[in-house]
Amino acid sequence: MSAQLGGQPILILKEGSSRTRGRDAQGMNIAAAKAVASAVRTTLGPKGMDKMLVDTIGDVVITNDGVTILKEMDIEHPAAKMMVEIAKTQDDEVGDGTTTAVVVGGELLKKAEDLLEQDVHPTVIAQGYRQAANKAQEILRDIAFDIQPGDTAILTKIAETAMTGKGAESSKEKLCELIVKAITMVTDEDGTVDTENVKIEKKVGGSIDDSEIIEGMIIDKERVHSGMPKLVKDAKVLLLNAAIEFKKTEVDAEISITSPDQLQMFLDEEEKMIKTIVNKVIASGANVVFCQKGIDDIAQHYLAKAGIFAVRRVKKSDMEKLARATGAALVSSIDAISTEELGKAGRIEERKVSGEEMIFVEECYNPKAVSIIIKGGTDHVVDELERAIEDALRVVGVVVEDKKVVAGGGAPEIELSLRLREYASSVGGRAQLAIEAFASALEIIPRTLAENAGLDPIDMLVDLRAAHEQGKKTFGLDVFAAKAADMKAAGVVEPLRVKTQAISSAAEVAVMILRIDDVIASSGKGGGMPSEEEMAAMGGMGGMPGMM
Ligand SMILES: Nc1ncnc2c1ncn2[C@@H]1O[C@H](COP(=O)(O)OP(=O)(O)OP(=O)(O)O)[C@@H](O)[C@H]1O
Ligand SMILES: [Mg+2]
C-alpha cells in the first residue's frame, strides 16, 4: 500500500504485507467461510456422520459436535475463524445447535455470492439480511409453543433430540432420564438453572447403561493414606490451596551437613514444621482435607493418626465445585486455616466405581450439587458421551428457564423460509432479493438432514413445503420414515433459543464478512483463497490444513 508524493511512492505498510480489495477480498472470505460450513455439514442431524480428528501429537477425537470439530481443527484464515466464533458463541449461549449456526452462516454467504454476481451491492444484501433476521426472530417466537418446567416427559424428549446422532442411541432413554433428573435437582426456586452444578465424571469400563446419578459430588481421587478412615460422617471440610510440606527455599541454597547429629537435627526440624501444620488443621476441627497441592509423607502419617481423611492434588475446578457444594472457603495459606473457613457435608466416602476408588461427597451443605457418572467401553466413547450429555444438560436447562420450544427436523426452517418469502414481497425493491435469498438459505437445514440420511433432498423439500403451505407448522423431516411428519407429535422438539441464537449469529457473521472489502495483512497472515485441494480436504474427513 503506498501513496504518491511528488512522484515518490510512500510506503505505509511493512515490507511483505499484502492487500486484497473489492470483489477479490469478498470472494476469498466467502470461500473460506463456506469451506468451514461444508466441513461440518455432514455431521448434521440424527443420521449425520462423525469426524475423526488427529492432532499433531497423534491424539484422536471422534465427534459429531460442531463446535468440538471446529475447535480441534487448526483454522488460520481470519474469515474462517469468524465462522468458528459463531459456533463458540452458540455453544456458550445454548450448548447446542453449533452445526446449524455454522451451516446456515455458510449458506447465507453462498446465496450472497449469487447476488453479488448479479451486481447487487453488498450493503444492500447486508441490509436485507438484517431485516430478514429480525423478522425471523418474530416468526420464531410466533411458532414456538409453551411448556411447563415440571413436564418431565417433554423435557426428556428435548434431551433426546439434543443427543440424537451423538453415539448414545442404545441408552438414550436412560441417560435422558438422568439428565432431566439432574436439571430438576439443580433448578433454583426462581426458575434459573446453573448447569455448572452438575458435574460429569467419566469412567472407562462397564457399559453406558451403568451410568448413574449421585446427589452430591464425585472426585476422581483416592485418600492419601490407607490408615485414614474410608467414611467420614458429619464431615467438616477444609479446602486448602497450599502444600502440606516442608517449605523449600526459594533460592538455590546448599546446606552442608558435616555430622550425623546435624542431619538428625535437620530432619527433626523438618518434621516439627510439618507437625505444626498438621496441628493447625486438627485445631480447626476439620476431619476432611482436600488439598489442591501436595501432602508430604510425614504429613500423611500424622493426618492419618489424627483420623483425618485427606486428598491431595485435587483439580482446581473440583476445588471450586467443592467450595460451592460444602460451603467451605478456599484457604490459600497455612496461616489462614481456621474453623470459620470449614464447610460441611453429611458423608464423605471412598468407594469403588468400575474397580477404581473414587471419593463421594454426599448430603452436601448445598443440595444443588449433583454428579453424573458416565461409563463406556473406551475413552473415545465416554468422551463423545460427555459432550452429548453436556449438550443435553444445557438444552434442558435452557428450556426450564425459557419454557419455549419449537419442533425440530427442519420444521421451523421451512416455516421461516415460507413466511420470509411472503415478507420479502411486501418489502419490495432490491432488499426483496436479499430477503428471498435469506429465506432460501434456511432451507439448507432440512436439505442437509435429508442428504445426510441418504434421502432425495428435492423430494423431501417439496413434501415439506406442501405441508407447511397447508398450515402444518410443525411438520419436519422424519429421517427414519423418509417423509414429512409432525415433529411435535413425534417428540422431536428443541428449545426456541437454539434457533433464535443460531439464526441471529449466522446472519451477523454473514453480514460482517460481506461488509469487508479490503483485507490488509501483515506478512504471512491474512490468507488467500483456499486451494481446491484444501477445500476438498475440509469438506471430507480429517483435519484441516492451514488455509493460507
Ligand atoms: N429424530 C429426529 N428427526 C429429525 N430431525 C432430528 C431428529 N433429532 C434431531 N433432529 C434435527 O437435527 C438437527 C440437529 O443436528 P445436530 O445435533 O447434529 O446439530 P446441531 O444441534 O446443529 O449442532 P451440535 O449438536 O453439533 O452442536 C436439528 O435440526 C434437529 O431438529
Ligand atoms: Mg445438536
Q: At what angle do helices 532-539 and 22-41 cross, to 10 degrees?
A: 30
Q: Across the strands, what pairs with 348?
A: 232, 361
* pLDDT per position as a tens digit, 87-96: 999 999 999 9
What gap in Å lies between CA 129 and CA 431, rounded to an integer?
8
Task: Output the pLDDT for position 520.
Answer: 82
346 C-alpha to ligand 2 centroid (Å): 38
Nearest ligand, CA of residue 492?
Answer: 1
How far is ligand 2, taken at its centre, from the CA of residue 391, in Å? 7
Q: Which of 93, 100, 163 to mutate to test the pocket of ligand 1 (most atoms within 8 A of CB)?
A: 100
- Minimum CA distance residue for ligand 1 atom 20: 97
pLDDT computed for residue 130 by the predictor? 96
Q: Got the DSSP string for 346-380?
A: EEEEEEEETTEEEEEEEEESSTT-EEEEEEESSHH
Cα 342 to ligand 1 centre (Å): 45
Task: Enter the C-alpha cell of residue 271.
Answer: 518434621
| Residue to substitute in 96, 452, 477 for testing ligand 1 pocket (most ligand atoms within 8 angstroms of CB) | 96
In testing the pocket of ligand 1, which one of 448, 492, 496, 500 has its CB within 8 Å of the most ligand atoms? 492
Q: What is the atom index within ligand 1 of the atom nearest the CA of 502?
A: 22
Phi, psi of 466 (to 5 degrees): -60, -45
Q: How far is the CA of 46 from the centre of ligand 2 (A)?
A: 9
Atom 9 (ligand 1): residue with closest C-alpha? 161
Ligand nearest to the Cα of 480, by number:
1
Q: Which atom of ligand 1 is nearest to the CA of 407?
A: 31
pTM score: 0.83
Q: What is the pLDDT of residue 117?
A: 93
d(CA 12, CA 311): 60
State how far the Cα of 276 lies from the Cα of 285, in Å rounded to an integer. Answer: 15
Within 6 A (CB) of ligand 1 lie 43-46, 48, 64-67, 96-100, 161, 164-165, 391, 408-410, 445, 449, 476-477, 479, 492, 494
Atom of ligand 1 nearest to the CA of 494: 31
Q: Would you name the residues annotated as active-site residues?
A: 65, 98-99, 391
Residue whose C-alpha is closest to residue 173's, from 211, 202, 121: 211
Three-class SS of residue 493?
strand
| Residue carrying the nine cell digits 403451505 | 469
Going by CA atoms, what residue is nearest to atom 14 of ligand 1? Answer: 45
The closest residue, in CA terms, to atom 21 on ligand 1 is 97
The low-confidence residues of the chain, meaning pLDDT below 50, are 539-548
CA of 48 to the centre of ligand 1 (A): 9
Kindly list the strands in the beta sheet with 145-146, ordered across the sheet, starting from the edge strand earlier in the chain.
145-146, 404-407, 493-495
Burial status of residue 124 (CB atoms within 10 A of its CB: 0-12, 13-18, 19 or more)? middle
Q: What is the pLDDT of residue 542?
A: 40
Cα(327) to centroid(ligand 2), Å: 35
pLDDT of 540 reads: 44
C-alpha closest to that of 48 among 493, 501, 450: 450
Instruction: List Cβ neighbours of 236 (8 Å cut-off, separation of 6 or more).
Output: 285, 286, 287, 288, 342, 343, 344
Q: List all residues 6 or more positions away from 531 whose beta carbon is below 8 Å from its beta carbon.
A: none
- Residue pLDDT, tens place only, 434-465: 999 999 999 999 999 999 999 999 999 999 99
Residue owning the nearest CA to atom 13 of ligand 1: 45
Comparing C-alpha atoms, which of 174, 108, 176 is closest to residue 437? 108
Atom from ligand 1 closest to the CA of residue 408: 31
